[in-house]
Chains A and B, each alone.
Chain A
Amino acid sequence: MTHSPSSISRPLPVPPPLSARARLAKWWRGEATAPAKRVQFDRPLTPWVFLLPQLAVVVIFFYWPSVQAVTSSFYLEDPFGFSATFVGLDNYTDALSSGEYLSTATFTAGFALVVTALSLGLGLLLAVKADKVIRGASIYKTVLISVYAIAPPVAALIGMMLFDMHIGPFTQLAGLFGYDLKVGVNYWDTAFAMTLIAVWKQIPYNFIFFLSGLQSVPVSVREAALIDARTGWARFKDVILPLLAPTAFFLLIINITYALFDTFAIIDVIVKDKPANNPMTLVYKIYLDGFKGNDIGGSSAQSVILMVIVAALTVVQFRFLERRVHYG
């Protein structure tokens, strides 16, 4: 996040405990109940003092930049920031009618979809397998989780070493099969490397959550399923998976956010010193246009569009998907 322009809304930076999510979801549906215990303050200002740090963070880092972004999206600013001309919706029409913008948007959607699907799927697979390991379980888990401790740019650097066009083992491996892998030059080769690194980086996160979700499935319920269902697949599909649904829903939101925003560092490392025509996400394009291209107005318009898309996505997720989730 630190690299990305400040005007982007991040849906739900919510801590994991289930109750918090359930409460948030309730609040979203407008069913928020009165808190169990009401705290009385002697002076009316006291609660606001307690709220101040949190409010300050939200206002300074979210509302203020958002307003800035919306405002500057209606202006055309000169590169040195001396003057700005009101241009109405021109920045928006420019962005939406630009083929480059649309192809980046398409790539972003595909990238988010693939990264989310793969990192959720592989994370779940590894968690299910790790859950069954009894001997050496802690070593196995530590090895899987340790990747999460690597910072995204470092992960991308490691990835680029592996994909290096001269000495990268992956490039050599592809060469063995007669394929000339050109990461950083060929659009789809770069997209492949980008996806692989992004997925690799995210798997441990999903793994941790899925594993703890699996371990919270009551033993006796598993045993009841062992008697009721004949195949491991039936037990997993009918009993374990529905009980994992709250975890999966939470991870889905987090993973989409990750693919859209938090892959910035990875993309930056992969594409910044490479020739043009490399794939990138909308967030990275906003950064490029705004800070490299000095087109603050256009970049702001793009970030407002992204904000709207993400907001819409969040609504869809909570309104339609969450209904199907059973909270224990």
Chain B
Amino acid sequence: MAEITLKNVGKTYAGGVTAVSEVNLEIRDGEFIVLVGPSGCGKSTLLRMVAGLEEISTGEVAIGARVVNKIEPSERDIAMVFQNYALYPHMTVRENMAYGLKNRKTPKGEIEARVAEAARMLELNAYLDRKPRALSGGQRQRVAMGRAIVRQPEAFLFDEPLSNLDAKLRVSMRGEIRKLQRRLGTTALYVTHDQLEAMTLADRLVVLNGGRVEQVGTPLEVYHRPATTFVAAFIGSPAMNLLDAHVVGGRVILEGHDMGPAQAPDGPVTLGIRAEELQSAPRGLPVKLDYVEELGASRILHVAAGGQYLAFVQSPEIAIPEQIYLTVRPQALHLFDTATGARIGQVPAPVAEPVP
């Protein structure tokens, strides 16, 4: 187990394409870090640079006290779980798990013990002598996990390990990965494009966009205090409403309506409001109903305020009023610079304590 330090890490491909630039990150020992972002944001490239499968163009990657830029993947003491499992098709489950240890001259008895332990944890005992092709997707995923666990590495690297599974299995495997990592206390770096997976797994999230870090923080920090409009729109479902508004004399004005106080200089701003924070009230911002999405447990109403569209969540028990007026708590107003997309001011957003 070890901390991982990334210092000004960048990747430029031979063709001159920059995939990742100036990433600085300090991962604490035993921490679960999730790299999240849309496709092509460089999250996999970053992970593969830590693994040693991709050369590091600039900067430094250190695992523990060791700078690993020039160290072979097999010597970095990391274990990786691949998106398509990457199991050795000609080896049995047992051989797949033991292979990495065998190459490290681990004593036979120890290998057997570790494989047995991993098989017990992952409930793979019945399948140890099967070949990967005789396993289901979920079982293959477990074998890939087992192959990483038996190594007892300094860090686990996960490259979208659940994206090939069906939705139901994904949720249960997500829970298992989290529990397993907590139990083993191994530092983990996890790549996903699924913001829900990111939110549920991470100790801290790293939101990437275009090869740059947009924000680093706990899931709740990122949710409640998004640093940029990109993070605001990417994290949370439905996505945060981002609206063109103005600040006039310390008040936010949206479509001619006063939404609440703002600690920002006068001028145009991007106003962010979470769909969950908007409430219909007897008076407030007048909106016209556009259409309704019924989700069972909740209902998303898409409405128009002037020329701008926004969504808000309502309990399905409440009838949809004829004329809708929306209000929002002052703490739930997020202001962003219209030009740079960066967060403005210190709106005191209550950050809930994460459940330990």
Contact = CB atoms under 8 A, between A and B. Distances in A.
A239 interface: yes
A328 B75 CA distance: 29
A22 interface: no
Contact of B89 (A221, A227, A229, A234): A221
A204 B317 CA distance: 75
Nearest to B95: A238
Interface residues of B, number: 25
A223 B82 contact: yes
Contacts of A223: 51, 53, 73, 80, 82, 86
B103 A229 contact: yes
Nearest to B76: A227
B90 A230 contact: no
A290 B75 CA distance: 65
Interface in B73-123: 73-75, 78-80, 82-90, 99-100, 103-104
A11 to B, nearest CB: 26
A226 B99 CA distance: 12
A242 B103 contact: no
A227 B84 contact: no
Contacts of A229: 74, 99-100, 103
B293 interface: no
Contacts of A227: 51-53, 73-74, 78-80, 100
Contacts of B104: 230
Interface string A115-138: 000000000000000000000000
Contact of B80 (A224, A239, A243): A224
B282 to A, nearest CB: 59
Contact of A228 (B53, B74, B84, B85): B74
Contacts, number: 65
Given A220-B82, A220-B83, A234-B103, A226 B88 contact: no
Interface residues of A, number: 19
Contacts of B290: none
Nearest to A241: B90
A226 B83 CA distance: 16
Contact of B74 (A226, A242, A328): A226
A224 B86 contact: yes
Nearest to A325: B90
Contacts of A221: 86-89
Contacts of A275: none
A326 B52 CA distance: 30
B55 to A, nearest CB: 13
Given A223-B82, A224-B86, A226-B53, 18 more contacts: A221-B86, A223-B80, A225-B88, A226-B73, A227-B80, A228-B99, A228-B100, A229-B74, A229-B99, A230-B75, A230-B104, A238-B99, A242-B88, A242-B90, A243-B89, A326-B90, A328-B89, A328-B133
5 contacts: A224-B80, A224-B86, A226-B53, A227-B53, A326-B90
Interface of A: 218, 220-221, 223-230, 234, 238-239, 242-243, 245, 326, 328
